[in-house]
Homo-oligomer: A and B are copies of this chain.
Amino acid sequence: MIVALAGGVGGAKLADGLYRTLPAGQLRVVVNTADDLDLFGLRICPDVDTVMYTLAGLANPETGWGIAGDTFEALAMLSRYERDVWFKVGDRDFATHIARTDRLRAGLSLTAVTSELCRALGIQAEILPMADEPIATRLLTGAGSLEFQDYFVRRHHEDLVIGVEFHGIAAARPTSAVQNAVSRAEAIIFCPSNPIVSIGPILAVPGLRDLLIQRAVPKVGVSPIVGGRALRGPADRMLGSLGHEISAYGVAKLYQGILDGFVIDEADARLAGRIESLGMHVLVTPTIMTTTGDRADLAMRVLDFCTQLRQESSSRL
């Protein structure tokens, strides 16, 4: 059984590759919830939904969010009701938020609700919110402290980020589902998601980083930065403004002490030596996932890398 840590689009792509590569039931994806929000009184979990829609084969490949072919009648009507509709929610997507909110209000945990939704969509993997407690990323920017989706969607992640806070994280704990997944995983994979605001909050859940460090199984990350640029989103600018190197090395350094392997793109082959100096094995391989086939190909290579690390580790014993 493999555990993947993921945020939104990039993470969902590799999670999807793993899902299509591993036997049914052998994948558990721990997903960032720090960019969740309440909108129109509904609880929206953008990263959980992106992973869920992607694994269910429903995701919209053009936008990276929402459901392919979704319509926007409810949103248009909410606009008519003078509600601010800056965050685009499609009609089918609304159903997810309605069902989730209804079940949360009935007292179920986010983990339990997510499990219900995934089962209904026929997903044969476990999608595990990183925590059941509400956590909210706030970004300190030149324009002041911004809620994550305000920064990301409404303001098109254009503000310079000089600080990041995960509100509520101190009160959060790894769920028993996440603890169970991590403790039983044969390998742990950090998907190519934003290391600051996607993987970062997962590692910031008190106790979770230690749980990961303690596991003596291959732990491998895939760089979301290729050739010094984020494939999607603001990870590159965010690394820079927070004082990190804008490169695969900069990402690897954030995971130093946790990961024992790091996957970088061929475009970044020259960084292999520096990343190895952080105490990580390095796999240099094509990492850009354009087609669905690319996802499974990369997943296969990442899994092979894990097998290789496991064998090297055994041979050392």
Q: Are A120 and B81 in contact (CB under 8 A)?
A: yes
A41 to chain B, nearest CB (A): 3
Tell me if A20 counts as interface (CB < 8 A to partner B). Answer: no
Counting CB contacts under 8 A, is A267 at the interface? no
A95: contacting residue among B77, B96, B102, B116, CB under 8 A = B77
| Of listed A70, A77, A121, residue having the most chain B CB within 10 A | A77
0/1 per residue, A90-117, Cβ < 8 Å to B? Answer: 1110111011011001100000000011
Contact B96–A81 (Cβ < 8 Å): yes
Is A254 at the interface (CB under 8 A from chain B)? no
A73 within 8 A of B: yes
Interface residues on A, range: 20 to 34
Chain B residues with Cβ below 8 Å from A96 are 77, 81
Q: Which of A42, A67, A95, A116 has the most CB of B within 10 A?
A: A95
Q: How far is the CB of A49 from chain B (nearest CB, A)?
A: 12
- For chain A residues 259-297, which have a beta carbon within 8 Å of chain B? none
B-contacting residues of A (Cβ < 8 Å)? 40-42, 67, 70-71, 73-78, 80-83, 90-92, 94-96, 98-99, 101-102, 105-106, 116-117, 120-121
Instruction: Offer 17 A-B interface pairs, CB within 8 angstroms, sorted by A.
Output: A41-B101, A41-B102, A41-B105, A41-B106, A42-B98, A67-B77, A73-B91, A73-B95, A74-B94, A74-B98, A76-B95, A77-B91, A77-B92, A80-B120, A81-B117, A91-B94, A94-B94
